[in-house]
Amino acid sequence: MPTIDHRCAVLGKPIAHSLSPVLHNAAYRALGLEGWSYGRHEVGEEDLAPFLRSLDPTWAGLSLTMPLKRTIQPYGERCDRWSRELGISNTAVLDWDASDAAEGLPRIRLYNTDVAGIAMAYGEATRHDDPTRAGRGAVVIGNGNTATSAVAACTTIPGIDRITVAARHPGRNTALAGLAARGFGHADAYAEIGLDDTDALLAALGDAAFVVSTIPGHAGDAVADRLAGADGHTARIRPRGLLLDVVYDPRPTRLMEAWRAAGGQAIGGETMLLGQAIPQVLLMTGAWDGETAGGVPDAGTGPMAQAMRAALEEAL
């Protein structure tokens, strides 16, 4: 067994379900990185500071999931556009050569790869589609942290020019309207509706080029029920666009099944998980600085990405 001298892990609460170790360890094998190991640690908001203080210089990087993507902000430097603009980071790269001796912490560089992961999932799934088949709008279901990254991703996708957010509590995330306006260049590119407004929801879903459901677990089941007619089978709309449900357990979700039954294309959260993990690995291992022109190397097509995809499919 090689000596482990580079450690990384995903942090969050709960965390036992995370497939990030499968992806990252597969990447290390593909890259020939001996001595690298990636695990998982259950860390809540109140646990983050002591966890960071417990690290030693063998630690190279951290992935942040719920509820830590905002909690990590005071401890690090936002080093990419989306971390700076959204105040949400899912990636921390640890630099012990620039550590804070007083705090006993390394320099922590923060990145958001969720936005890239969502955009990559859309791009891969629609690569061979007729661009005129669907409308030009996007719908994001939910208005939490992942929804914020989804709205940001939609502003980067060619052909999409407006976003509707459907949430249980519209207006709760006041940053979304400004994010969409900046991304598209005009204020009328954004609308909000309540998840209980069935007519408005179905109209938005039916016209969308891209739908991202960011609500957890079985919360999307109610939306699935709205898609079916009174008999539970006949679809009430004919979707033209792509649905990404960020949930990957269960797989497929009821929402994905209902979308497909109505004639639409649906992909699960494993596609986003892979898309955000590829740049994470490259950032944590130092293979990419997050700024080099030309985008993320090996973005879904190279040997490392293929190894990660195969390991993920096997784990699922």
Tens-place pLDDT, residues 158-196: 999 999 999 999 999 999 999 999 999 988 999 999 999
Average pLDDT over residues 233-248: 87
CATH number at residue 215: 3.40.50.720
H or E, element range at 140: strand 137-141
- Whether residue 236 is found in the same domain as residue 127: yes
pLDDT attached to residue 293: 44
- Whether residue 92 is found in the same domain as residue 125: no
Residue 76: which of 91, 59, 97 has the closest Cα? 91
Whether the pLDDT of residue 74 is over 80: the answer is yes
- Whether residue 211 is found in the same domain as residue 139: yes
* pLDDT tens, residue by residue, 203-226: 999 999 999 999 987 899 999 998
The average confidence (pLDDT) of the chain is 91
Q: Which of 138-152, 215-229, 259-273, 302-316 has the lowest mean pLDDT?
A: 215-229
DSSP letters, the chain, are -----EEEEEEESS-TT--HHHHHHHHHHHHT-TTEEEEEEE--GGGHHHHHHT--TTEEEEEE-TT-TTTTGGGSEE-SHHHHHHS--SEEEEEEEEEETTTTEEEEEEE--HHHHHHHHHHHHTTTS-TTSS-SEEEEE--SHHHHHHHHHHTTSTT--EEEEEESSTTS-THHHHHHHHHHSSGGGEEEEETT-HHHHHHHHHHEEEEEE---GGGGHHHHHHHB-TTSSSBSS---SEEEE---SSSS-HHHHHHHHTT-EEE-HHHHHHHHHHHHHHHHHTS--S--TT--TT-SSSHHHHHHHHHHHHH-
pLDDT attached to residue 131: 57
For residue 211, what are the domain limits?
116-270
Q: How far apart are CA 240 and CA 242, in angstroms?
A: 7
Q: Which of 12-26, 55-69, 118-132, 135-149 has the lowest mean pLDDT?
A: 118-132
pLDDT attached to residue 312: 97
Please report, as a single letter, which amino acid is at residue 99: S
Q: Which of 93-97, 131-135, 262-266, 299-303 has the lowest mean pLDDT?
A: 131-135
* pLDDT tens, residue by residue, 276-296: 999 999 999 999 887 654 456
Q: Is residue 72 part of a domain?
A: yes
Domain count, the chain: 2
- Whether residue 263 is found in the same domain as residue 282: no
Q: Which of 45-54, 100-109, 240-249 has the lowest mean pLDDT?
A: 100-109
Q: Is the CB of residue 153 less than 8 Å from the CB of residue 185?
A: no
Bridge partners of 228, per DSSP, are 235
- Whether residue 141 is found in the same domain as residue 84: no
pLDDT attached to residue 99: 72
| pLDDT band (50, 70, 90) for residue 102 | low
- Whether residue 122 is found in the same domain as residue 256: yes
pLDDT attached to residue 128: 76
Average pLDDT over residues 43-65: 97
